[in-house]
Amino acid sequence: MTHEKATSGWQNIRPAVGSVTLCFITALYVLLVTNRMFWTKAYGYFTTEHTAFAAFVIGIAAAIMALFTFFSAKYITKPVLIFFVLVASVSSWFNDQFGVIIDKEMIRNAAVSTGAESGHLITARFVTYVLLTGVLPSLVIAWVRILHRPILKKLAYNTAVILACAAIFVAAGTSFYKTYAGVGRAHRDLMDTLNPVLPITSAVRYVIDTHRNADVVAQPLGTDAHKVGVADNGKPRVTIIVAGETARAQNFSLGGYGKLTNPELAQRNVVYFPNTSSCGTATATSIPCLFSVYTRGQYTHHKGLETENLLDVLTHAKVDVTWLDNDTGSYDVTNRVSYTYLPPSADPRFCKDGECKDEILVDKIDGWLDKVKGDSVLVLHQLGSHGPAYYQRYPEEFRRFRPDCRSNDFSACSQEEITNAYDNTILYTDHIVAMVIDKLKQRSNSVSGAVLYFSDHGESLGENGIYLHGTPYIIAPSQQTHVPMLVWMADDLAKAAGFDMACLSKQAGEGTYSHDNIFHSVLGMMDVSTKVYDPKLDVFSACRTPSNKLALN
């Protein structure tokens, strides 16, 4: 058989289809197979407005058809359609399994994730799902033959199809405009899970944002900062900030949770702030936001990059600042201070497969304290309760709540097992923070110590079908935004600096707080005066003796 005949025979068994027809079939597949969460939410939002919902379905289908047809051109049809299918497949997995919305901030968070962290999400079920719903249909698209019209006829035909789809979309939108406007105002997340549109536009927005911020230089902040209080005992003032990861206040027994998840801190005379909210629902937003001078309402990623932060202001005041990281980085917060990323150490006592238990942070404290000569701040960035592999966050002796989920695939576990595994991570964090406090107590003869703990954001554990975190803040459930915060202060420091801890405890229980308070409260703890300090946002200000408060104003 000649080569020409063999080729001809192969071509004959491949089905031929028009490019617009293939776009229509692919669009229909994507809408029906990879948009379950989108259609479920939309149907629920329209409740009794069934006719409006039907028009909505037709309008969305027409819009997706127009989008796909726009790329109906020789040499680009197949690559673009395959790209759309693969993106929709991967996104729909996270939509359907975790209730995750792939917005710009989720893309940002994914972009800075470590390989170990990302690996926990790549389960056998995920791979199987993507193979069946993404790779397999992509192979079909690659296999079929596309019949293209002559270029001018193709241009005219494609334009007619796109205009027809656009007309259907407009007609559907205007026919029930009042209903759509009402639903859109009440449910701003209506379009947030439309695949593959949202993931692609979010990625484009992230790339544009990253390019725009590439050459940003942080402008000086608080260069007038200086220390105004010196303890009578002459000991250096040392504050250790424990920046927690993925701890939600709902599961802290200090705040009333039914399980005893904070047995050690309950005996450390800490002040707990039960009503505290986060700046974001993902680390990449919350960490730079809470260390910035901006409130949550003012903060943007660009502002965070172009303005120095709390650590810089402390440095201007001649406070020594060090950051030890066991999570995914500092997100540019530490660009101008001492920073150490611990997982690469692969310390066999704490580390395995690129991740370390948080005790590696505590292990470094004594060495750091040995070098303290003056007022200092140490930030410990935890891996904390980061999911979905909760069981890898705590050692065997902290498996107190059983049965606990021993998998990073939630489908393999019951709801009780998932919650128990998560609660064990909180129990372990309780132990970590208690050990940090004890380290400072052991040095009470040489330093005046304080510990401030807070979590960057919370976590969903299946409430309303949502897991993990990263939901857009405007629609995020309270489990992702209600976070724990607490403070411990040595008696000699409280007395010397005029902190009324009984007053603070009462105020903490009655008031409402947020990450907005962190910047100014740390300056207050360290007695650092600067024009950018706002006593109204300092949680300690109202519970200090008048002379000490006056010194900070």
- This prediction has a pTM of 0.89
Give the span between the Cα atoms of 484 and 254, in whole angstroms: 9
Give the span between the Cα atoms of 494 and 544, in whole angstroms: 9
The pLDDT assigned to 201 comes to 93
Percent of the chain residues topping a pLDDT of 70: 96
Give the span between the Cα atoms of 11 and 33, in whole angstroms: 29
Give the span between the Cα atoms of 181 and 247, in whole angstroms: 37
Q: What is the mean pLDDT of residues 362-389?
A: 96
Give φ, ψ of 169 to 5 degrees: -60, -45
Q: How many CA atoms lie within 13 A of 277 on its CB side?
A: 14
Q: What is the mean pLDDT of residues 481-499?
A: 95
Q: Give how far Cα 148 sits from Cα of 7, 21, 28, 141, 501, Å.
A: 20, 11, 20, 15, 77
Mean of pLDDT over the chain: 92
The pLDDT assigned to 548 comes to 60
Structural tokens at position 323? 């950051």
Give the span between the Cα atoms of 304 and 293, in whole angstroms: 9
Instruction: Please say whether the dihedral angle defined by the alpha carbons of residues 466, 471, 472 and 473, taken in this order, is positive or negative.
Output: positive
**Range in 112-121, 128-137, 465-474 with the lowest mean pLDDT:** 112-121
pLDDT tens digits along 130-170: 999 999 999 999 999 998 889 899 899 999 999 999 999 99
Banded model confidence at residue 100, pLDDT cuts 50, 70, 90: confident
HEC string for 463-528: HHHCEECCCCHHHCCHHHHEECEEEEECHHHHHHHCECHHHHHHHHHHCCEEHHHHHHHHHHHCCE
**Range in 49-58, 225-234, 340-349, 527-536 with the lowest mean pLDDT:** 225-234
Q: Which helix (H) or strand (E) holds 441?
A: helix 415-442
Q: Are 158 and 69 in contact (CB under 8 A)?
A: yes
The answer on pLDDT for 550 being more than 60 is no
**Residue in this structure with the two tokens 């997995």, named with its chain if needed:** 93
The pLDDT assigned to 547 comes to 62
Closest CA to 479 of 419, 535, 534, 438: 419
The pLDDT assigned to 118 comes to 75
The answer on pLDDT for 465 being more than 50 is yes
The answer on pLDDT for 449 being more than 60 is yes
Banded model confidence at residue 549, pLDDT cuts 50, 70, 90: low
Any residues with CB less than 8 A from the CB of 346 and at least 6 apart, and which?
none
When comparing pLDDT for 232 and 490, which is higher?
A: 490
Banded model confidence at residue 363, pLDDT cuts 50, 70, 90: very high
The pLDDT assigned to 12 comes to 63
The answer on pLDDT for 317 being more than 50 is yes
Which of the 8 DSSP states describes residue 235? P
Q: What is the mean pLDDT of residues 349-378?
A: 96
Q: Are 282 and 457 in contact (CB under 8 A)?
A: yes
The answer on pLDDT for 57 being more than 80 is yes
Give the span between the Cα atoms of 16 and 401, in whole angstroms: 59
Per-domain residue ranges for the chain? 12-212, 226-552
The pLDDT assigned to 326 comes to 97
Q: What is the dihedral of CA 5, 8, 12, 14, to 10 degrees?
A: 130
Identity at 465, one-letter amino acid code: G
Give the span between the Cα atoms of 518 and 292, in whole angstroms: 9
Q: What is the mean pLDDT of residues 405-417?
A: 95
Q: What is the mean pLDDT of residues 53-68?
A: 95
Give the span between the Cα atoms of 268 and 438, in whole angstroms: 9
Give the span between the Cα atoms of 270 and 255, in whole angstroms: 12
The pLDDT assigned to 445 comes to 94
The answer on pLDDT for 496 being more than 50 is yes
pLDDT tens digits along 379-406: 999 999 999 999 999 999 999 999 999 9
Q: What angle do CA 477, 331, 296 make, to 5 degrees?
A: 45
The answer on pLDDT for 209 being more than 90 is no
Identity at 100, one-letter amino acid code: V
Give the span between the Cα atoms of 489 and 28, in whole angstroms: 61
Decide yes or no: CATH 3.40.30.10 for domain 226-552.
Answer: no
Give the span between the Cα atoms of 321 and 316, in whole angstroms: 10
Coil vs helix vs strand at 291: coil
Give the span between the Cα atoms of 248 and 461, in whole angstroms: 10
Q: What is the mean pLDDT of residues 110-124?
A: 79
Q: What is the mean pLDDT of residues 396-423?
A: 96
Q: Are 259 and 253 in contact (CB under 8 A)?
A: yes
The answer on pLDDT for 551 being more than 70 is no
The answer on pLDDT for 9 being more than 80 is no
Alpha helix positions (H), 214-291: 283-290
Biggest CA-to-CA distance, the chain: 100
Q: What is the mean pLDDT of residues 279-305?
A: 96
**Residue in this structure with the two tokens 């080569």, named with its chain if needed:** 3
Strands 467-468, 338-341: parallel, antiparallel or unpaired by DSSP? unpaired
Q: What is the mean pLDDT of residues 84-101?
A: 93
Banded model confidence at residue 230, pLDDT cuts 50, 70, 90: low
